[in-house]
Amino acid sequence: MSQNRKPEQESNQEPSALVLERVTYLREQLAHHLYRYHVLDAPEIADAEYDLLFDELLALEHAYPSLHSVSSPTQRVGAPALDQFEKVQHARPMLSLDKASSREELEQWMQRCRNRLGDVALTFTCEPKIDGVAVALVYENGELTLAATRGDGNEGENISANVRTIGSIPLTLSGEASHLAPKLEVRGEIYIPLDRFHAFNAAAIAEGEKPMVNPRNGAAGSLRQLDSKVTAGRPLTMFCYSLGGSEGDWQPQTQEEVLSTFAEWGLRTNPALEVVADLDQCLHYIERLELRRDDLGYEIDGVVIKVNDLSQQQVLGSVTRKPRWAIAYKFAAQEATSVVQSVDFQVGRTGAITPVARLQPTFVGGVTVTNATLHNMDEIARLDLHVGDRVMIRRAGDVIPQIAGVILSQRPTDAKAVGLPDGCPSCGSLIHRTDEEVVARCSAPRDTCPAKRKEGLKHFVSRLAFDVDGLGDKLIDQLVDQGLVSNAADLFALSRDQLIALERMGEKSADNLLGALKAAKQTTLPRMIYALGIREVGEATAAGLALSFGDMESLMAADLHALERVPDVGPVVAKSVQEFFAQPEHCDVVAALQQLGVNWPAIDVIAPESLPLTGQTWVLTGTLETMPRSAAKQQLIDLGAKVAGSVSAKTTVVVAGPGAGSKLEKAQSLGIQVRSEEALLELFNQYKKEVE
């Protein structure tokens, strides 16, 4: 009954306004929750819920290549390093893994490895995929000198003082000094065993302290404590799983040799490691491990499979921050049934009304599930969902539970159909739904709907906008509920006395927040535009608007024609921008911000007609091997080109890499110019030299 989630097929159509809105929403949400999880240590959603948002965005970007953006959360691994810790540059990037969830996907990955390596013998290592925190340990002459988090993959956080408190991590490697590498980087996963996690939480509750949310979050929060004495009291341990680099005579030949040598040196490795020779042996390992999953004593979400030979790994290399020589096999969906007790409706920043199913608490996949997002009324209609229904809920690959279907045979006689409320749940205003989109929205202006006001303020202070440290969701709720803040400008007019009077806000916290607000007054034009929360305007579009208009006044006065000349701004986005600034209350907020000392300097305008590729439409297809497709797209846009997701008679150039299929064939049939990735790089270098 389980279904494996696969990327959607690449579309030949330009994304609809609905798709663009969804992608913008997903990117904003992922950025917000990354910040909550990695920086504030105060997650608002479970890891599984975050994974669902991430996978949905990944699927949409795969389906519509024109949506690819270098600023997308899918191009990132983890989150930026904390300012409170010293930043550490990794000698080699710490990569994330591609995923497989079926025999076919795993077989395709193995075949891709063979195709690149030629006619050579291959073996693979299999080991549990630990659900913890990735770290890198540096040993020099056998002594632990540095421990760092993965961070964004290139730069992490120095957590050496905290890691030194973990008993399972040796401060000095065992073995003869002559056999040790002069400098060695060990990579692995720090986690909390389940028995220690439950014991810690029981003790915390007994003492009236806050328990950990889950083992993974507990490990992340423990490693990011500024006081290492706190970390010492946390039940952390580590499995070492790979070599980040080694200097000196010791240059291992295989992944198996790496881990066996680690064990000899006193590093903790997973005893469940096995070496397999083919697909069938690999699948047999996966099946056996999944049966043992509940007995392992630690949380896992799949199996990591790697090419065993390190020289073969080097030949295979990596692409888009993911190694070609490794893959994560995600376990099949875990399912259970529950009862829909009610359906509530939540209001977002743009007024979108989202139905949420409240479920009878049900334990599935290691988590007690009580809620499931239903997306929109069309989804409710598709499911024919009624309050009182028994439903099948699924956690596919340890993601947010979703309602997979209604068990109609068990529908009670008093089950009630779910209808859209007559008025906004927050302010009571009329709810509008147009034929152009499936989302229903509150019709009230943002400043008159408390929910829209709160969500707009949360967006304004988010990391990619004004990045106000210490101004969390609960505090914003208080400020709005008590009438202290009605718009973004009011935040900068808050007094110390007003803040101290708030619940759980002491003098030090108030001073810190006022300091953060003062620091946030100096921002940039792109961040300011993004922070306003204009519908359809994400981070990349905000940057494009800033470059095209140079200052806020010009943008606010722009007509539709001028807006549509901005790269990647079509009629829908242009209309949204114009309608936003046509509302006096939004212009008043901008003016009030300036009067309160918020500053966003003007920037030099780049006229689209002055760019060398203006008027040209380019299409990227196949695999780009030297740079991410999103980076290539951004450079083309910077040169004035429009980058489309499909080939048509209006296409100027198609860049085709390995694996190019129907788009290449269509370009050839239409006589459209086709260029290689090498030619594209030469073009970029040519214009770079001209600029210099």
Comparing 581 with 334, the larger pLDDT belongs to 581
pLDDT tens digits, 93-139 = 888 888 888 899 999 999 999 999 988 889 999 999 998 999 999 99
**Does 17-75 carry CATH code 1.10.287.610?**
yes
Location of structure tokens 């450079």: 635
The model's confidence at residue 608, banded by pLDDT at 50, 70 and 90, is low
- Judge whether 87-330 and 334-417 match in fold: no
- Structurally, at CATH architecture level, domain 525-595 sits in Orthogonal Bundle (1.10)
| pLDDT tops 90 at residue 80 | no
Tell me which H or E stretch contains 347: strand 334-347
**Residues noted as catalytic:** 129
pLDDT tens digits, 392-406 = 887 644 456 778 788
Alpha carbon distance 452, 431 (integer Å): 13
Alpha carbon distance 447, 349 (integer Å): 11
186: phi then psi, degrees, rounded to nearest 5: -110, 130
pLDDT tens digits, 540-574 = 688 789 888 999 999 999 999 899 888 768 888 99
Alpha carbon distance 429, 66 (integer Å): 37
Location of structure tokens 């981070």: 539
Percent of the chain with pLDDT over 70: 89
Task: Supply the pLDDT for residue 39.
Answer: 39
Alpha carbon distance 653, 672 (integer Å): 6
Domain extents in the chain: 17-75, 87-330, 334-417, 446-520, 525-595, 610-691
Collect all residues with Cβ–Cβ distance below 8 Å to 474 and sequence separation of at least 6: none
The model's confidence at residue 365, banded by pLDDT at 50, 70 and 90, is low
Alpha carbon distance 351, 353 (integer Å): 6
Alpha carbon distance 656, 671 (integer Å): 14
| pLDDT tops 60 at residue 312 | yes
Nearest CA to 32 out of 45, 18, 21, 48 is that of 45
Buried b (16+ CB within 10 A) or exposed e, 214-245: bbbbbbbbbbbbeeeeebbebbbbbbbbbbbe
What integer is the mean pLDDT of 142-163? 88
> Considering the chain, what is the average pLDDT of its residues?
85
**Under 8 Å between Cβ of 659 and 666:** no
pLDDT tens digits, 316-329 = 988 767 899 999 99
Alpha carbon distance 205, 219 (integer Å): 18
Collect all residues with Cβ–Cβ distance below 8 Å to 607 and sequence separation of at least 6: none
Q: Which option is the CATH number for 446-520: 3.40.50.300, 2.40.50.140, 1.10.150.20, 1.10.630.10?
A: 1.10.150.20
The model's confidence at residue 689, banded by pLDDT at 50, 70 and 90, is low
| pLDDT tops 90 at residue 242 | yes
For residue 135, give the amino acid letter. Answer: V
Alpha carbon distance 336, 532 (integer Å): 42
Q: How far apart are the first and last CA of the chain?
A: 60
Q: Considering just the CA atoms, what is the radius of gyration of the chain in Å?
A: 27
Task: Supply the pLDDT for residue 75.
Answer: 56
**What is the fold, at CATH topology level, of the domain defined by 610-691?**
Rossmann fold (3.40.50)
**What is the fold, at CATH topology level, of the domain defined by 334-417?**
OB fold (Dihydrolipoamide Acetyltransferase, E2P) (2.40.50)
Q: Which two tokens stand for residue 105?
A: 């996907």
Nearest CA to 52 out of 29, 71, 18, 20 is that of 29
Comparing 640 with 691, the larger pLDDT belongs to 640
Alpha carbon distance 69, 58 (integer Å): 11
Alpha carbon distance 188, 243 (integer Å): 9
Task: Supply the pLDDT for residue 527.
Answer: 92
Comparing 7 with 31, the larger pLDDT belongs to 31
Q: Give counts: helices (H), strands (E), the chain.
A: 25, 26
Collect all residues with Cβ–Cβ distance below 8 Å to 21 and sequence separation of at least 6: 437, 439, 535, 536
Task: Supply the pLDDT for residue 553.
Answer: 95
Alpha carbon distance 648, 669 (integer Å): 11
pLDDT tens digits, 17-40 = 898 999 889 988 887 776 565 434
- Structurally, at CATH architecture level, domain 87-330 sits in 2-Layer Sandwich (3.30)
Alpha carbon distance 408, 411 (integer Å): 5
